[in-house]
Amino acid sequence: MSGGDDTIVAIATAAGRGAVGILRLSGGDAFAIAEHLAGSLPAPRQARLRSLRGSDGEIIDQGLVLCFRGPNSFTGEDVVELQGHGGPVLLEVLQRAAVSAGARRARPGEFSERAFLNGRVDLAQAEAIADLINAQTEQAARAAQRSLEGAFSRRIQALLDALIGIRVFVEGALDFSDEDIDWLSDEGLHQRIAELDVAIEQLLREAERASRLRDGLVVVLAGQPNVGKSTLLNRLAGREAAIVTEVAGTTRDVLREDIAIDGMPLTIVDTAGLRESDDPVEREGIRRAWAAVEQAELLLFLVDDRDTRSPADTALLEKLPDAIPRLQIRNKCDLSGAAPGAFEGGVRICARSGAGIEALISAMREVAGIAESGESAFSARARHVEALRLTAQQLRVAAATLAAGSGAELAAEDLRLAQKALSQITGSFGSDELLGHIFSSFCIGK
C-alpha cells in the first residue's frame, strides 16, 4: 500500500521564531529535490552541514541535512530533513524552493497518514502521535507514548485473534451443517465467547479511563447565587479567574477554565446562580448556565453548609438532568462549624480556605474513573471506546443467538460485525472517510 506518488513538503517545527527550524520532505523525489536546496546529500542517517539555497539559487542559510532511505523511515518513503535556523521567513523561502523543484505542500497529518498507509504504524499508533503532541499533562504524554509503542494495539490484536478464532469455528459449522454433529452446542465455544466478552469489557473500562485522561472532564459548577461557585473555581484554578463579591448574582456569564490537577485534565465551568430574575442580563446568564449544565460530564451542585437543603435547592436538584453524574458540595463549612470531608453523595468544603478540596478532587477522580496516580497503560479516544462498546454488543448478540439455537448464519454475521467494529481501532478495516477525518486533525508537518 502506498501513500502517494508525489513528494510532499512541510515545515515540521512550530510556528514562530526559534533557534532551529525543520523542513521535511517525503516521497520518491525527496532526495532529488533536497539536492536542489542543499547540494550533495550525506549518506542516510548521517547529518552533515550544508548551505541551503532558495529557488533563485542564492544561499539563504546554513544547516544540517539528514536523509532516511525508505522503507526505513517514518513514512516508509524517502525522507529528508533540512534543519536550519528557526526564522519563519527562512523556512517559508526554503519551502517555496522545494515546491518550485517539484514538491507539493503537505496536508495536515499527511506524513503520519503515509506512515499508516505504508504499514509503518497502525491507526491507533498514528493517533497516539497527535495525542503525544497535544498532551495536556505528563501522565497523558506517557500514556500516548505507550500507545505509540503499540501497547494498545497489541491488546486489540489479541482480542481480534480470539474473535477470528470463534468466527472460524462458527463458519466452519456451516460447512458441516448436514452432519449429525451439533458443533454450535460445544461447551468450549460458549466458554471462549464468555472469556472474550470479559476481556473486551476489561479493555473497555481501561479505554474509558484513558479517554478521560486524554480529553479531561467537563465539570460544571451549579447552584443558587452566592453559594461560592466562583470562589471554588478560583481555588481549583489556583488564581483569581472569576470575580468574587458578596453581591448575589455577580456572575452573569459562563466562565470556562482549563486546568490540570495531579494529572487529571479538567474544564471547570462557572455559571450564573440559578434563580428567577427580572433582570434581562441575569436571565440570559441563567439561560446560558442551564445550557452549560446540559453539556456537563460532572455536576458539582453547591449549597451553603449553614442551611439544610432549602426548598429552592430541592427544586433545582429536581431540574438537573438525571443522566449526568453529580456531587453535592456543601460549601462554607468554616461558617457552619462542620468538619470538611466526604459524605455519601458529596463533599463538605470551604472553598475560601481550601479545606476539603483534596476530598473533592478524590471524589471527582472516582467519578472520572481515573486512578489516584493519574496513569494509564495507553491513550485512547472516544471513537476507540465506542468501537469497543459496539464490539461487545455484537458479540453478546451472537452469544444469545447461539444459546437460543437460532442458527449459525445469524451468529456468523453478528461476529463479522463485531470484528469489523474492533478492526476500526487499528485501521485494519476502515473507510476512507474515517481516515480522512482522523488525519485532518493533525498539525502540518506530521
**Residue 172 annotated as binding site:** no
**Residue 446 annotated as binding site:** yes
**Residue 332 annotated as binding site:** no
pLDDT at res. 365: 82
d(C-alpha 439, C-alpha 446), whole Å:
9
Tell me the residue type at 155. R
Whole-model pTM: value is: 0.74
Domain ranges (residues) in the chain: 8-121, 132-212+381-427, 216-368
Torsion of the alpha carbons at 367, 373, 376 and 377, rounded to the nearest 10: -140
**Residue 369 annotated as binding site:** no
Instruction: Determine contact, residues 34/131, Cβ cutoff 8 Å.
Output: no
**Residue 271 annotated as binding site:** yes
**Residue 245 annotated as binding site:** yes
d(C-alpha 111, C-alpha 187), whole Å:
48
The residues near 396 (Cβ < 8 Å, ≥ 6 apart) are: 197
Q: Which CATH architecture is the domain 132-212+381-427 placed in?
A: Up-down Bundle (1.20)
**Residue 401 annotated as binding site:** no
CATH of 8-121, picked from 3.40.920.10, 2.40.50.140, 3.30.1360.120, 3.20.20.70, is 3.30.1360.120
- C-alpha cell belonging to residue 55: 529557488
The residues near 329 (Cβ < 8 Å, ≥ 6 apart) are: 223, 232, 300, 301, 302, 303, 346, 347, 348, 349, 360
**Residue 246 annotated as binding site:** yes
pLDDT at res. 277: 61
pLDDT at res. 272: 66
pLDDT at res. 431: 53
Q: Give how far Cα 41 sits from Cα of 7, 38, 124, 438, Å.
A: 17, 7, 34, 34
The residues near 364 (Cβ < 8 Å, ≥ 6 apart) are: 217, 219, 264, 266, 298, 327
pLDDT at res. 134: 85
DSSP β-bridge partners for residue 83: 22, 64
**Residue 69 annotated as binding site:** no
Homologous superfamily (CATH) for 216-368 = P-loop containing nucleotide triphosphate hydrolases (3.40.50.300)
pLDDT at res. 364: 86
Instruction: Determine contact, residues 438/127, Cβ cutoff 8 Å.
Output: yes
Q: Which of 117, 145, 162, 72 is nearest to 427 (CA)?
A: 117
**Residue 120 annotated as binding site:** yes
> How do strand 79-86 and strand 255-261 relate by DSSP bridges?
unpaired
- C-alpha cell belonging to residue 210: 484513558
Q: Which residues of the chain have a pLDDT value below 70?
A: 1-4, 174-186, 241-254, 272-283, 308-309, 369-375, 406, 429-442, 444-446
**Residue 230 annotated as binding site:** yes
Q: Report the run of H or E that residue 107 belongs to, with start and end.
A: none
The reply to whether 8-121 and 216-368 are identical in fold is: no
Q: Give how far Cα 21 sits from Cα of 61, 73, 74, 93, Å.
A: 11, 20, 19, 12
**Residue 234 annotated as binding site:** no
**Residue 223 annotated as binding site:** no
